[in-house]
Amino acid sequence: MQKKTLFVIPEVHAASAAAATSIRVPFVRPALPSYADLQPAFENILRSGQLTKGPYIEQLEQLIAKRLGVRHAIAVSSCTVGLMLVYKSLDLAAGSCRSRSGAAEGCRVSGIEPLSRLGSARSGNRNEPLGEVIVPSFTFLAGPAAIVWNNLRPVFVEVDPTTTNVLPQTVAAAITPRTVAISACHNFGNPCDVPSLEAIAAEHNLPLVIDAAHGFGASVHGKPVGGNATAQVFSLSPTKLLTAGEGGIISTNCDCLAHFVRLGREYGNDGSYDALFSGINGRMPELSAATAIASLALLDGVVVRRNQIAALYRKELAHLPGITFVETPSESQSSQKDFSITIDPTQFGISRDALRREMAARGIETRAYYDPPCHRQTAFEHFHDRTRLLPITDMLSARSLSLPMGVHVDEAVVADVCETIAHVKQTT
């Protein structure tokens, strides 16, 4: 009997086939719904002519809000735009809640100061110090980019080497009178300690923004991540477990914040054509929303499968000295958005970069997330206080290697990848 495949496995695009012939195992392939599953929605959308701001966005937002157990899930064009809108809206919501001298039901930001209280954005004085947002350096560059876009200053902090996430005590130690927000990330889909970070944020009257780009599929005590913090922002790009093609979701329990995010994704225009603030076109198209709805139906199966593959990778690589794994706290489940290992060059025998090169030469694609780390990138290094050393971040950046993960990775591929690693170790 022919085995029914759950997912559509994309073929290598014809145009890139020649370039890709040397790739035997691609780094990532998305788990996509079948065309048959998408076709009715696509047809409805095309027939209706409503390509944006339609019923599929509404349905997606409702489904996600229910899944996360959160008051608001707001669909946007990407996680990056979502993060940009959250910082912008926190500034506006703080002022708004205060001027109404009371929060709308569910509001969590009523007590916070506007983010730009110390920034040149509000005063117009370019010499005034920027408001600071504490953010890990060992993360994707979209986090600090969204901070800088809001005329705020990223303050890069260290991560824990075993989870690769920020430690609450590290964040607490970095708070200064200029701090206006705290940011953390569920790195590689490994949930960060949001309750402890929330406690610190509450103590200092600061908003907590989680970069949950890798978060769909991750859970803590069986509950999907995304239901706490001031806001969490997910990515629905093709490398994620839940995909819309491109897209993002902002989850929040704060009515004021949600209000400004919704306005912000509409250029700051409430319909009056008299923009209330400078927003952006941050909308997710209807075709993308329909893709995400169909993708959502696959998510639970994808998480189970990825965790099986991750366990298999660990088993197959456990005997090799010099390899360590990302550890997930016992109460949590990682989405395994990435399966990343750390290579100690002394114990392993060769460096991460040499291993990566040898694997590429044998047709296996990997990624060196996140190298260089954010505090060493051209766009952000001038924000970094060089006396604040980040040795764990530098170590992880030099040693972390993400292995192929996705719908194309089965038991045979894991065996192939792990045998290749062992072979390279022995022979190089």
Ligand X SMILES: Cc1ncc(COP(=O)(O)O)c(C=O)c1O
Q: What's the residue count for the chain?
A: 428
Size, binding site for ligand X by CB under 6 A: 15
**Using CA atoms, how far apart are residues 352 and 163, in angstroms rounded to an integer?**
19
Read off the DSSP letter of residue 52.
Answer: B
Least gap, CB of 367 to ligand X (angstroms): 11
Is 79 a binder of ligand X (CB under 6 A)?
yes
Is 185 a binder of ligand X (CB under 6 A)?
yes
Least gap, CB of 78 to ligand X (angstroms): 3
**Using CA atoms, how far apart are residues 109 and 254, in angstroms rounded to an integer?**
7
Least gap, CB of 54 to ligand X (angstroms): 21
183 φ/ψ angles, rounded to the nearest 5 degrees? -130, 145
Q: State which residue, 209 or 409, has the beta carbon closest to ligand X.
A: 209
156: amino acid identity, one letter: F
Is 139 a binder of ligand X (CB under 6 A)?
yes
Q: State which residue, 78 or 420, has the beta carbon closest to ligand X.
A: 78
Is 213 a binder of ligand X (CB under 6 A)?
yes
Which of 357-396 are b and which e, b meaning 16 or more Cβ less than 10 Å from the residue's Cβ?
ebbeebebbbbbbbbbbbbbeeebeebbeeeeebebbbeb
Largest CA distance in the chain: 72
Pick out residues in 240-269 that bind ligand X (CB under 6 A): 248
First-to-last CA distance in the chain? Answer: 44
| Stretch of 24-32, 139-147, 311-319, 384-392 contacting ligand X, by CB under 6 A | 139-147
Is 134 a binder of ligand X (CB under 6 A)?
no
Q: State which residue, 146 or 256, has the beta carbon closest to ligand X.
A: 146
Q: State which residue, 306 or 425, has the beta carbon closest to ligand X.
A: 306
Q: State which residue, 120 or 239, has the beta carbon closest to ligand X.
A: 239
Query: Do 338 and 188 form a contact (C-beta atoms < 8 A)?
Result: yes
Q: Which residue is associated with the tokens 């329909």?
A: 290
Name the residues that contact ligand X, by CB under 6 A: 78-80, 139-140, 142-143, 185, 211, 213-214, 235, 237, 239, 248
